[in-house]
Chains A and B, each alone.
Chain A
Amino acid sequence: MKFKHAALPYMVWSAVFVLVPLGLVAVFAFTTQDGAFTIDNIARVSGYTPVFMRSVWLAILATAICLVIGYPLAYLMSRMSGVRQRTMVMLIMLPMWINFLLRTYAWMTLLENNGVINSLLRLLGLGPVRMINTQGAVVLGMVYNYLPFMILPLYSIMTKIDDRIIEAAQDLGANPFQVFSRVIFPLSVPGISTGVTMVFVPAISTFIISRMLGGGSNMLIGDLIDAQFLGNAYNPNLGAAISMVLMVFILLVMSIFNQFDDSEEREGMLI
């Protein structure tokens, strides 16, 4: 019981820096600039449907690509020897030591029409390919920046899958596909759920990638919120309302995902 007090600093911290600001966001979202109650701000958010849908779509795309790339890699990593595992984790973490903004800026130089990749293509006689300022470039930027957040949770779950379980399944006559679909996949679902959350949430609210790699015309929700605070019409109330809607949306998506996670896991346990 005494250890309960150990959590006190964090409780105070989260009360002051998480709960109070969240409350302030809600207060701002439901008031006018003069402080009177209104739901006008929330109603106005639906006017930005195209921006919302684009953000959701690009975030889903980026998350799916991260999962497709990250899943096999995480599995192979978890079956490697100790030294190799540590080296791989190191290699995945390495880009994260460099500032996020700088990494995105570097992609800009790579993808430009006179950039590194197109210069190489030109040397090979292949015409310049339009890469920068497209939605594809935005997704690429998201995948590149958030891929480690997918791989690491998957990897840490998969290292816990005992080789003997896989061998047992094989002994009992499961073919490779059955081993994957009935043993490995169900056991890795908690990792998938964490990884998807860790990629989807920052991807849907990112705001600088679209400006740098998307040519500014692929506006995302993050850019929209940024514009409410640092744009021409200083409108923190609308900005707070957009943030609120985004937050509720993310919460809903997460809760749906958690359902899958739990039930699938139980099935996995039953087998």
Chain B
Amino acid sequence: MKKLFSAVLALALALPLLLVPAWGEEMDYSGMDLGYYTRYKGQGRSISVYNWGEYISDGSDGSLDVNRAFEELTGIKVVYSTFDTNESLYAKLKTGGSSYDLIIPSDYMIARMIGEEMLLPLDLGNIPNFEDSVGERYKNPSFDPGNRYSVPYTWGTVGLIYNTTMVDENDLIDSWSCLWDPVYAGNMLMFSNSKDAFGIAFKMLGYPINAESKEQLDRATELLKEQKPLLQAYVMDEIFDKMTGGEAALAPYYAGDAITMMEDNPDLAFVVPEEGSNIFTDAMCIPKEARNKELAEMYINFMLEPEVGLANIEYIGYSTPNDRVYQLLDDEVKNDPVRYPDQELLDRCEYFVNLEPELAAYMDEKWTELLSADERYSQMLMPLVMLGCVIATISLNTARAVRKNRQQPN
């Protein structure tokens, strides 16, 4: 009797799960190559996907649950997990012990992983959508010539986000030099990661965005040192609060995030400076440890399907490299200069590529110097302090031992 009761109870609890589908929108599979997608159906296989947080349409707010739709169509289970920075993804892959079939790093990290032979070459024959979907201008990127290792997922630019009520109306914000303008002293924010901050300095100096020599890094460091007293703070994610709250007038940031901020505060505006900027791409790659390469390629192909790509790009808010998805967008979005700047401007934007290890280390060194440049100490100070501590410990110990000895006879 008791058993029956609990069985009924369990069924009653499970019933809502069975009746209400967890995803908002039904997927329309017509127009897809069903033969291709159902090859592995019924074999109980799974792939492991490692993506940025909040970076895929997941069925919330009535959007399409992309992973669920993929499972439905192909019978392949998706094991999905997320990371928060390229560097933590890199550190995770480098330390080993995990096996992902698909990862979505950014351009410079892809270049670095290619250089360190951490990725598998893709078989574009297994990704039939690649040819028609990915726009010509997004193919063959400098960080991965010929798309041997990566298929673009999203892209965006870095530009200036500013508060229209806090900058002078007559003052045209269209150049990186605004970030060195004393008028806005104390009202400006700057990237607190070396790569983006140096990128801006390089563009100011008319250099390529990727450092070519130590001299260039030295010049850029000088420029950033000039800027430091004018800044309010070096920030990353804190920028959301600070810009929407009117705490600062001017800051460089990523276009996709600028759109999020502009939705929260209509006074904000975004511009890609005329000197050109950084264009970044997050692209799908297969790491060396992958166990299911064909399945991962099928997943990549699925992400390129127009309906799937549209759901993702509407959810993420970045720009799409997929021409077929672009055609489906509203005209308002298509002509939005923040998301899709004109070609002439994009031609002046560059991708980050992987720096030579020596230059990357030098850049980090200069960055630390910049952030701690207020005080000057002799390099000998620290060893001296340590030595002082050692002497103090020893002498205190001796003093105590001596005292103990004197007390002993009593």
How many A residues have CB within 8 A of the partner chain? 45
Give A135 Cβ to nearest chain B Cβ, in Å: 10
Closest Cβ neighbor of B108 among chain A residues: A232
**Proximity bits, B345-369, A CB within 8 Å = 1, else 0:** 0000000000101001101110110
Give B111 Cβ to nearest chain A Cβ, in Å: 13
Which residues of chain A (174-212) have a CB below 8 Å from chain B? Answer: 211-212
* B contact face: mostly helix, strand, loop, or mixed: helix
Q: Is the CB of A256 within 8 A of B396?
A: yes
**Proximity bits, A225-255, B CB within 8 Å = 1, else 0:** 0010111111100000000010011001101
Is residue B192 contacting chain A, with contact meaning CB distance below 8 A? yes
Which residues of chain B (224-254) have a CB below 8 Å from chain A? Answer: 228, 231-235, 238, 241-242, 245-247
Is residue B215 contacting chain A, with contact meaning CB distance below 8 A? no
Interface segment out of the listed A70-78, A108-116, A156-164: A108-116
Q: Is the CB of B195 within 8 A of A232?
A: yes
Q: Is the CB of A50 within 8 A of B194?
A: no
Is residue B386 contacting chain A, with contact meaning CB distance below 8 A? yes
Question: Once A and B bind, how many residue pairs between them come within 8 Å at the CB atom?
Answer: 125
Closest Cβ neighbor of B84 among chain A residues: A230
Which residues of chain B (154-204) have a CB below 8 Å from chain A? Answer: 192-195
Q: Is the CB of A259 within 8 A of B382?
A: no
Q: State whether A46 and B372 are in contact (beta carbons under 8 Å apart), knowing that A108-B241, A216-B235 are contacts in the complex.
A: no
Q: Is the CB of A248 within 8 A of B371?
A: no
Is residue A140 contacting chain B, with contact meaning CB distance below 8 A? no
Contact of B379 among A49, A114, A219, A224 (CB under 8 A): A49
| Bound form: Cα–Cα A253–B393 in Å | 8
Is residue A217 contacting chain B, with contact meaning CB distance below 8 A? yes
Is residue A51 contacting chain B, with contact meaning CB distance below 8 A? yes
Q: State whether A51 and B232 are in contact (beta carbons under 8 Å apart), knowing that A230-B87, A232-B195 are contacts in the complex.
A: no
Contact of B371 among A56, A217, A252 (CB under 8 A): A217
* A contact face: mostly helix, strand, loop, or mixed: helix
| Bound form: Cα–Cα A232–B127 in Å | 32
Is residue A48 contacting chain B, with contact meaning CB distance below 8 A? yes
Contact of B372 among A54, A109, A212, A230 (CB under 8 A): A54
Q: Which residues of B contact A (CB under 8 A)?
A: 85, 87-88, 90-91, 94, 192-195, 228, 231-235, 238, 241-242, 245-247, 355, 357, 360-361, 363-365, 367-368, 371-383, 385-386, 389-390, 392-393, 396-397, 400, 403
Can you spell out 18 A-B residue pairs with CB atoms less than 8 angstroms apart?
A: A46-B382, A47-B365, A49-B377, A52-B382, A54-B372, A56-B385, A109-B241, A112-B242, A113-B232, A215-B234, A227-B367, A230-B91, A231-B364, A232-B364, A245-B386, A252-B392, A256-B389, A256-B396
